[in-house]
Amino acid sequence: MPIEVRGNPRYNGHYVKARASPVPALSIDSWLPRKVQTMSDQLKELRVSNDAMDDPAELQRRIADEGYLFFKRLQNPDKLRSLRREMLTVMQQGGWLVAGTDPVDGIANVAAQCTEGDLSYTDVYHEVYKLEAFHRSAHEPEIMQMVEKIMGRPIMPHPQKIARLWFPKYTEHTTPIHQDFVHFQGNFENLTCWAPVGDCPIELGGLAVLPGSHKVDHVLDHHFSLGAGGLCVDTEAEAKTHRELDVAWHTTNYEIGDTLIFPALTIHKALPNYTEDKLRVSLDNRYQAVGEPIADHMLDPHLNLVSNLTWEEVYRDWKTDDMKYYWKQYANPVVARDKSYAEKGFAEAVELAKQGDPRAHLHLKRIVKRDPNSPFGRIAQQVLAEKGVDVAPVMA
Ligand SMILES: O=C(O)CCC(=O)C(=O)O
Ligand SMILES: [Fe+2]
């Protein structure tokens, strides 16, 4: 089978080999590239911590040492299955699934491909975002209790919940290597809980972490990336000075209910969705100790700057009130978002676009399409015009 390396490895943040399809069901071993060149090319199994579930001291020791905790079936598979049906039904109504298929199978209409930053993504995502069950899922006792054991003090979920709805055969938009702090901020102790809503074998593109990478103990340089979030760490370059980064990526064939928990400095990425036609659906929510600072944007619905969405719109059809504005009962200091990470990424995209980089062109086109009159949108229009790049269509 031919193997090709896609894109500019310095900026795409994956260093993965695109595979010819169809992709068979894979074990971790069979996913190893034919020629293993560096540790970063290897995939190993996540350590399962179910044995320590009732031992907070051991949980705290492990996460301090390894930078993540992984639990099999931490969450109730039946509740997640029902959430999956609700979410995918909305996606089918939005035209993202092949008409007439069972929504739970998540069979993507590949022609509808889009990602975060596209208006067509938020058109459907924000309908999913209105589901009461989606928000409630982040507050289930099994997660809340686990996060509280790990943090050792009262916690709260961030108001901004996140789902990722990732199309197949769209691998250059895969979430690149990053630390969550650049996106969510607040404080380094915040925890991310990532969980697929449905089984997520490796070829569907689950999350992978670099164990121990949080020990770099600071926010690494992030660069422009076309992938979700738009920012990526060059781990190969960083590993020259940070030996703790010269380790293998750890991931697994996730099953429904499995949950990965990690702090804001742990380096992680998603694997590409190499399936023929399956949407990957997952949740990533953040938790913080009550009383710690929270960045202002985490009080808003996700991607509300791409398309305006208010909590009132989110709540419109909810059957209960107990979860509405729940965070207002906590006195967490609110801090302004540090926009420097996003600004640096944009400046790099502009430089690359001037050099003719097609990924940067695509990124700038997206910005122009969604917000032509914003400061970034105006610069993007100017750079694309100088390069003679047609702003439409956005899709490559
Ligand atoms: O699911 C993804 O693709 C990205 C998730 C992520 O980066 C996170 O959970 O922090
Ligand atoms: Fe992340």
| Whether residue 354 is found in the same domain as residue 293 | no
Task: Name the band, by pLDDT with cuts 50, 70 and 90, for residue 33.
Answer: very low
Supply the pLDDT for residue 10. 32
Q: Domain span at residue 344?
A: 339-396
Q: How far does residue 178's CA lie from ligand 1's centre (Å)?
A: 9
> Rounded to an integer, what distance in angstroms lies between the CA atom of residue 275 and that of residue 168?
6
Task: Choose the weakest-confidence range: 7-21, 155-169, 182-196, 272-286.
Answer: 7-21
Domain end marker among 336, 362, 383: 336
- Would you tell me the crossing angle of helices 119-129 and 77-93 to the nearest 10 degrees? 140
| Whether residue 268 is found in the same domain as residue 372 | no
Domain end marker among 317, 336, 355: 336
267: domain CATH number is 2.60.120.620
Provide the terminal-to-terminal Cα distance of the chain, rounded to the nearest Å.
25
| Whether residue 294 is found in the same domain as residue 277 | yes
pLDDT at 7 over 80: no
pTM: 0.90
| Whether residue 138 is found in the same domain as residue 222 | yes
Supply the pLDDT for residue 5. 26
Domain end marker among 336, 361, 384: 336
| Whether residue 97 is found in the same domain as residue 231 | yes
The chain-wide mean pLDDT, for the chain, equals 90
Burial of 246 (0-12, 13-18, 19+ CB in 10 A): middle
Per-residue model confidence as pLDDT tens digits over 48-85: 999 999 999 999 999 999 999 999 999 999 999 999 99
Atom number in ligand 1 closest to CA 180: 10
Supply the pLDDT for residue 40. 53
Provide mean pLDDT across the span 152-164.
Answer: 98
Domain count, the chain: 2
| Whether residue 9 is found in the same domain as residue 62 | yes
| Whether residue 276 is found in the same domain as residue 366 | no
| Whether residue 293 is found in the same domain as residue 361 | no
| Whether residue 321 is found in the same domain as residue 363 | no
Ligand 1-lining residues (CB < 6 angstroms): 164, 175, 180, 192, 194, 207, 228, 268, 270, 282, 284
| Whether residue 122 is found in the same domain as residue 162 | yes
Provide mean pLDDT across the span 177-206.
Answer: 97
Task: Choose the weakest-confidence range: 1-10, 37-46, 308-317, 325-334.
Answer: 1-10
Per-residue model confidence as pLDDT tens digits over 242-269: 998 999 999 999 999 999 999 999 999 9
| Whether residue 226 is found in the same domain as residue 323 | yes
